[in-house]
Amino acid sequence: MNNDTNNKVLIIVAHTDDETLGLGATIAKHVSNGDKVYALSMTNGIGARENVKQEEIDIRAKAAYEASNVLGFKWLKGGNFPDNAMDSVPVLNIIKFIEEAKKEIEPYLIYTHSSADLNIDHRVVNQATFTAFRPQDKEIWQEIRTFEVPSSTDYGHKSITNSFSPNLYINISEWWNKKLCALQIYSNEIRKSPHSRSIAGIENLAKYRGNQVGLSYAEAFEIIRKIER
């Protein structure tokens, strides 16, 4: 928990499931430590797929709600931006949407996508988030962290993005099973092994990040900006 009275955390993602893939166990840890965690999604997550049906959109929305119950966070009213085409929207519209959530929640800590991600929606959300939370007077937020998403961050390459360079590793050994339960709810988004978005691949990543710092399981983050107020 944050040492100050503000214990609100805001997670800003392009698609529902990104929050669980990237930091599901860390969310559960925040909640167990007494933080209030909120998430904001920009799209329905599947609108770009061929011949998508309303039933599929409803299934995805139901999965997002159930995953939030498992991990203990609350979804804010999501955006209706075009899935996998957020670069077709004026970025100012996205910034203003994020700023509305910023005013509503007034978080001390923000998580969002890495600029290293291959997925264009992730990169647009990263840019819009950092603009919405640009340092100004009378701000109360203290820190912005980016996270990695399997089959997006690992697919990025330096010719189009910067690389993801974690400088914060959070021990999630006690909370891994909660993340696993939430991942299983998003079963339609999980791939068969071998794949970085398979259950085995996601667990391997958690073990790898843990092994880097002497832990059994970890989720890795990049602290992009931290302000001591």
Is residue 218 within 8 A of residue 212, CB to CB? The reply is: yes
Q: How many CB atoms lie within 10 A of CB 226?
A: 11
Decide the pairing of beta strands 8-13 and 74-75: unpaired
pLDDT along the chain (229 residues), means of 10: 75 98 99 98 79 85 98 97 95 98 98 96 98 94 98 85 91 99 96 97 99 99 96
Q: In this predicted structure, what is the pLDDT of residue 48?
A: 64
DSSP 158: T
- Give CA–CA dist 192/112, Å, rounded: 26
**Domain range list for the chain:** 8-169+221-226
pLDDT score for 162: 78
Dmax over CA atoms of the chain, in Å, equals: 50
- Over the stretch 104-128, which tens digit does the pLDDT of each residue have? 999 999 999 999 999 999 999 999 9
Query: Residues 6 or more apart from 158 whose CB is under 8 A from it?
Result: none
Fold for the domain defined by 8-169+221-226 = Rossmann fold (3.40.50)
For the entire predicted model, the pTM comes to 0.95
221 close to 166: Cβ distance less than 8 angstroms: yes
